Structures are given as C-alpha cells and as structure tokens.
C-alpha cells in the first residue's frame, strides 16, 4: 500500500460549472526562467536513483518488458528536474518506483538519504506524487481535501487548519468558494490543489507525473506558473515528467531524456542544446536534442495513449 492520499472515488462526468481563474487575457506572460546554479555536490541528494531496473511480464506468452532499464539519476535538494520522453518511455514507471507504488527489481533508490525499501515510512512522509489525473474526494471542497491530507500526514488539527488556509490563500481561491465541491472547479485549479496538497509536508520531494497533460492552454500556463512559484518559495525538490519540450525548458533546471527505459542524455537545457549543435551539427533546439538522442520526434506518438495512469 503506498500513497494513501489517493482515495478512489468514481470520477464524476460533470463539467466544471464555473472557473475560478482569471480570463485568458489576464494571465501574465511567463517570466523568463532563471535556472538555479548547480547545487553543491556532497550534500545528501534529494533523490538518488542507482542502477534501477524494472520489468513487467505481459500477456499470455509472459513476455518480459523492460520498462526502466538500468537508470541512474542524482537530484540535489531544491532542483527542478525534468524527465522527458515519449509515451511508453518509462516515465510513469520510474515515478511509481520512487513513490513506492511499485517494487524495484534491481538497483536502489534513496530519498533524502533514506532507502525506499528499508525506510519506507520515512520516505512516504517526504514524497508526494501528483499524477496526470489527480485523485480527490471530488464532492468535498478544496479545504476539506487539504485537511484530510494534513491529518493523514500526521499534522495536528490546529496546524492542519492553519496550513490549509495558508496554502489555499496562495492559490488565489476566494474565501467564499473554499467550501464548494472540488468538482465545480476548473481542471487547472483542481490540479493546483493537488499539487498544493503536497506542500503540507516539508522538505518534500514532489513527483509530478505529466502535471499539465490534457489541460487547456490557459490551465496549463497556470499550473506551470504555480510550479514555478513553489520552486521559488518552498523547500521543495521537484521531479516532473513531460512530453512538452517548451514546458521542460521553462520549468526544469536539468533534464534527462528517457527512451525505451534508458536515460539517453542528461544536462541543463542549455548544455543539451549547445551539445547537439556542436557535436551533431543540428539546430540548437530541444527538438533536435530529442531527435538526435532518441531517433524520433516527440510529436510522433504523443497522441496515441494518454491513459497512462492508475
């Protein structure tokens, strides 16, 4: 049993009856992203993935599929790290392994120095995973959802209340609307509440699995802006998966490209772009970085199946 914060409730088909967000012309243009300087090495990393492999046995013929293939990644505290890849590349599997929803076949993972197998409870307190379609009690309000989460995390009632109020205030939800059911809010706002819920603990390793996939452009921009705010204002380390190159460029300090379960290249977006131009004579864009190291375009297959979550 892993993240207890994903209560299973049937999805309601109802459309959001209102949006609690500014009209599109009032959404501020994103500020240019300032990447953080590389954090000092030697300190305990927020996340250490060491030669991790995960296979699935599929079908009647019991075919073995290597979803994550000998992946090693080290992420320092405070970084925003992107895992970029086409569908089926192994992104969600990697996130699920780190969040202890799946077991590792071989290799080791540490979160802030805690081994995820031997110290599972300590790790669970430090990590939060938000998947593409965040699970909530949709009939409950954002406030109720946060209080529920806070109590699960072991915060006392007073602190839970205080923290929830503070977090929701930051999301810009009007007080009069705090008690409305979540299902009446825009999907962008629901996603922001899902991410905000993860801020109830600190320090924290936020695992965002395609946090903006399937959102309309305005909601997408809002969620991205919110992720930037978190990164600037919280003691949070963020791992986010995406197949959106612009999003990776905007949000991430460093990136790994995951192709068929393997990390094929890693670096800051600037390093990768410079490298593809220097070593391969390709245009200095993330598109050509992706093409060069995976042999295909990211647009080729992103439409096929976005049904990749629980």
C-alpha 94/C-alpha 262 separation (Å) is 11
Helix (H, G, I), strand (E, B) or coil at 56: strand
Among 82, 85, 181, 211, which residue interacts with ligand ADP (rule: CB under 6 A)?
Answer: 85
The interface with ligand ADP within residues 47-66 (CB under 6 A) comprises 56, 58, 65
| 93 contact choice in ligand ADP, Mg ion, none (CB below 5 to 8 Å, kind-dependent) | ligand ADP
- As measured in angstroms, the least distance from the Cβ of 209 to Mg ion is 6
Nearer to ligand ADP, 82 or 181 (CB): 82
Nearer to Mg ion, 92 or 184 (CB): 92
Q: Does 99 bind Mg ion (CB under 5 A)?
A: no
Where do we find the tokens 């990749």? 308
Rg, the chain, Cα only: 19
Among 20, 47, 92, 220, which residue interacts with Mg ion (rule: CB under 5 A)?
Answer: 92
Q: Taking CB under 5 A as the rule, which mask of x and - marks residues 33-72 in contact with Mg ion?
A: ----------------------------------------
Q: Quick one: DSSP state of residue 89?
A: S
Q: Does 294 bind ligand ADP (CB under 6 A)?
A: no
Nearer to ligand ADP, 83 or 116 (CB): 83
How is residue 53 written in tokens? 């492999």
The interface with ligand ADP within residues 98-127 (CB under 6 A) comprises none
Region for residue 112 given its phi and psi (left: phi exceeds 0; alpha: psi -120 to 50; beta: otherwise):
left
Q: Give the pairing of strands 236-242 and 204-209.
A: parallel
| 89 contact choice in Mg ion, ligand ADP, none (CB below 5 to 8 Å, kind-dependent) | ligand ADP
Give exposure, 11-40, as e/b (b: 16+ Cβ within 10 Å). Answer: eeeeeeeeebbeeeeeeeeeeebeeeeebe
Q: Between the CA of residue 60 and those of 33, 210, 241, what are the distances in Å?
A: 48, 30, 31
Q: How many residues bind ligand ADP (CB under 6 A)?
A: 13
Contact segment (CB under 5 A) with Mg ion among 87-95, 113-121, 134-142, 187-195 equals: 87-95
Q: Does 225 bind ligand ADP (CB under 6 A)?
A: no
Region for residue 222 given its phi and psi (left: phi exceeds 0; alpha: psi -120 to 50; beta: otherwise):
alpha
Give exposure, 232-262, as e/b (b: 16+ Cβ within 10 Å). Answer: eebebbbbbbbbbbebbbbbbbbbbbbbebb
- As measured in angstroms, the least distance from the Cβ of 72 to ligand ADP is 17
Nearer to ligand ADP, 91 or 220 (CB): 91
* Residues binding ligand ADP (CB under 6 A): 56, 58, 65, 67, 85, 87-93, 308
* Residues binding Mg ion (CB under 5 A): 91-92, 308
């Amino acid at each position: 049993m892993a993240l207890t914060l994903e209560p299973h409730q049937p999805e309601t088909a109802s459309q959001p009856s209102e949006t609690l967000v500014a009209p599109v012309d009032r959404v501020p243009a994103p500020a240019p992203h300032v990447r953080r300087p590389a954090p000092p090495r030697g300190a305990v990393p927020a996340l250490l993935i060491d030669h991790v492999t995960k296979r699935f046995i599929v079908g009647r013929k019991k075919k073995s599929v290597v979803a994550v293939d000998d992946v090693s990644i080290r992420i320092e505290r405070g970084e925003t790290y992107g895992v970029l890849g086409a569908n089926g590349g192994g992104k969600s599997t990697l996130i699920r392994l780190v969040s202890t929803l799946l077991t590792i076949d071989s290799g080791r993972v540490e979160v802030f120095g805690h081994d995820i197998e031997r110290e599972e409870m300590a790790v669970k307190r430090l990590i939060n995973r938000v998947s593409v379609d965040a699970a909530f009690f949709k009939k409950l309000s954002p406030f109720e959802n946060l209080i529920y989460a806070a109590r699960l995390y072991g915060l006392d009632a007073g602190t839970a209340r205080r923290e929830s109020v503070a977090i929701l205030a930051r999301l810009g939800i009007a007080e009069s609307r705090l008690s409305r059911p979540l299902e009446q809010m825009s999907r962008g706002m629901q996603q922001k509440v899902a991410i905000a819920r993860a801020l109830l603990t600190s320090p924290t390793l936020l695992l965002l699995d395609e946090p903006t996939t399937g959102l309309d452009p305005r909601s997408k921009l809002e969620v991205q802006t919110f992720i930037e705010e978190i990164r600037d204002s919280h003691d949070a380390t963020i791992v986010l998966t995406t197949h959106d190159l612009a999003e990776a460029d905007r949000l991430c300090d460093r990136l790994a490209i995951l192709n068929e379960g393997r990390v094929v290249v890693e670096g800051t977006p600037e390093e990768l772009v410079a490298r593809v131009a220097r070593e391969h004579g390709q245009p200095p864009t993330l598109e050509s970085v992706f093409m060069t190291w995976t042999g295909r375009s990211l647009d080729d297959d992103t439409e096929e199946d976005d049904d990749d979550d629980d």
